[in-house]
A and B are shown apart, each in its own frame.
Chain A
Amino acid sequence: MDDPRDHRGDRVRVFPFLNTVVVSFTDAKPLGGAYDVVGLDNYRRMLGDPDFWLATRNSLLYALIVVPLMVLLPLLLAILVEKNLPGIGFFRSAFYTPVLASSVVVGLSWQWLLSDQGLVNTWLQKAHLIREAIPFLSDSWLILLSAMGLTLWKGLGWYMIFYLAALGNVPRELHEAAAVDGAGVVRRFWHVTVPGVRTSMMLVGTLTGIGSLRVFTEIYMLGGSTGGPGGADRTLPFYIRDVGLDPLTGNAGYGAAVSVALFALTLGLTLLAQRLTKEDEA
Chain B
Amino acid sequence: MTTAVDKRRRLMPRWRDYGRPRELVVRYLLLVFVLFITVGPLLWQLLSSLKGAGEDVFGAGASLIPHHPSLRAYREVFDQVPVWTYIRNSVFVAVLSIASQLVFSTMAGYMLSKPGWKGRKLVWIVLLASMMFPFESIMVSLFLSIRDMGLVDNLVGVWLPGFVAAINVLIMRAAFLAVPREIEDAAMLDGAGEWKRFRYLYLPSAYGAILVVTINTFISAWDDFLWPLIVLRTEDHFTLTLGLARLQTSSFGYDQRMVMAGSVISVIPVLVLFVITQRWFYRGVSSGAVKL
Contact = CB atoms under 8 A, between A and B. Distances in A.
A101 B270 contact: yes
Given A100-B267, A214-B134, A270-B132, A23 B58 contact: no
A41 B151 CA distance: 30
Interface residues of A, number: 81
A244 B137 contact: no
Given A98-B38, A207-B288, A122 B137 contact: no
Interface of B: 18-19, 24, 27-28, 30-31, 34-35, 37-39, 41-42, 44-45, 48, 57-60, 62, 132-145, 147-149, 219, 222-223, 225-226, 229-230, 241, 244-245, 248-249, 256, 259-260, 263, 266-267, 270-271, 274, 278, 281-282, 285-286, 288-289, 291-292
A237 interface: yes
Listed from nearest, the 9 A-B pairs whose CB atoms lie closest are A102-B223, A117-B58, A237-B136, A16-B138, A263-B137, A20-B141, A104-B241, A16-B141, A19-B141
A174 to B, nearest CB: 18
Contacts of B256: 112
Contacts of A122: 58-60, 62
Nearest to A24: B140
A211 B41 CA distance: 23
8 contacts: A19-B141, A81-B31, A95-B35, A95-B38, A101-B42, A103-B223, A113-B44, A263-B133
Contact of B292 (A96, A203, A240): A203
B289 A241 contact: no
A9 B138 contact: no
A108 interface: yes
Given A81-B31, A102-B222, A97 B140 contact: no
B62 A225 contact: no
B288 A162 contact: yes
B230 A241 contact: yes
A146 interface: no
Nearest to B264: A105
With a 10 A CB-CB cut-off, give which of B18, B35, B292 has the most chain A CB atoms. B292
Interface stretch (A45-53, A136-144, A150-158, A188-196): A150-158
A267 interface: yes
A165 B138 contact: no
B34 A125 contact: no
| Binding site secondary structure of chain A | helix
Nearest to A81: B31
Given A106-B42, A161-B282, A30 B147 contact: yes
A17 B140 contact: no
Contacts of A278: none
Contacts of B270: 100-102
Given A31-B147, A108-B248, A109-B41, A256 B140 contact: yes
B145 to A, nearest CB: 5
Given A237-B136, A259-B140, A103 B244 contact: no
With a 10 A CB-CB cut-off, give which of A20, A23, A28, A118 has the most chain B CB atoms. A20
A224 interface: yes
Contacts of B263: 101, 104-105, 108-109
B285 A158 contact: yes
A45 B244 CA distance: 36
B266 A105 contact: yes
A264 B136 CA distance: 12
Contact of A117 (B59, B139, B149, B285): B59
B226 A111 contact: no
B170 to A, nearest CB: 15
A166 B270 CA distance: 26
A32 interface: yes
Contact of A262 (B137, B141, B245, B291): B137
Contacts of A266: 132-134, 137
Contact of B39 (A97, A102, A224): A97
Contacts of B266: 102, 104-105
Nearest to A111: B248
Interface stretch (A64-72, A175-183, A215-223): A215-223
A23 B225 CA distance: 24
Nearest to B24: A85
Interface string A207-238: 10010011011001100110000000000110
Nearest to B60: A122
B249 A224 contact: yes
A67 to B, nearest CB: 15
Contact of B58 (A118, A125, A244, A263): A118
Given A19-B144, A161-B282, A104 B244 contact: yes
A108 B45 contact: yes
Nearest to B286: A165
A55 B150 CA distance: 31
